[in-house]
A = this chain, B = another copy of it.
Amino acid sequence: MSAFGLSDTPLDPAALARELASASAGACVNFEGWVRNHNEGKAVLRLGYQAYAPLALAEGERILTEARERFAIEGARCVHRTGELAIGELAVWVGVSAAHRDAAFAACRYVIDEIKRRVPIWKNEFYADGASGWLHPDGTPV
């Protein structure tokens, strides 16, 4: 099974977490990215995500492989939403299981940081004032 996935339908964190279950793991750290109703001082109504799917899947898989190589973890998974999302919806889920919590926290943080930095997915924010904008991570429009 692929460790990284894209989904154009809502994510089910409980089902995703169950796939990490392991008798030898003592720690599981999950990161959930939720659609926030504000950004940089502007009211946000909803989000849209586009992905260049073949490359996003390959790069996401590479990141999860790196996490398994760098940290003493057992399992690592990530799924990212595409399409239109409402406020409060789950946009990205990362889960890492490990024997000990140090590795689980470090690997989970590594995965979400690298996903945001490297995977070809773009966020379009729709604002309360009618404007919208594709966001660069540094806040500048692109």
Q: Which residues of A contact B (CB under 8 A)?
A: 13-14, 17, 21-38, 87-88, 97, 99, 101, 104-105, 108-109, 112
Contact = CB atoms under 8 A, between A and B. Distances in A.
Q: How many copies does the complex hold?
A: 2
> Chain A at the B interface: mostly helix, strand, loop or mixed?
mixed
A87 B13 CA distance: 21
A34 B29 contact: no
A109 B99 CA distance: 16
B37 A28 contact: no
Contacts of A87: 23
B37 A31 contact: no
Contact of A27 (B14, B29, B34, B38): B34
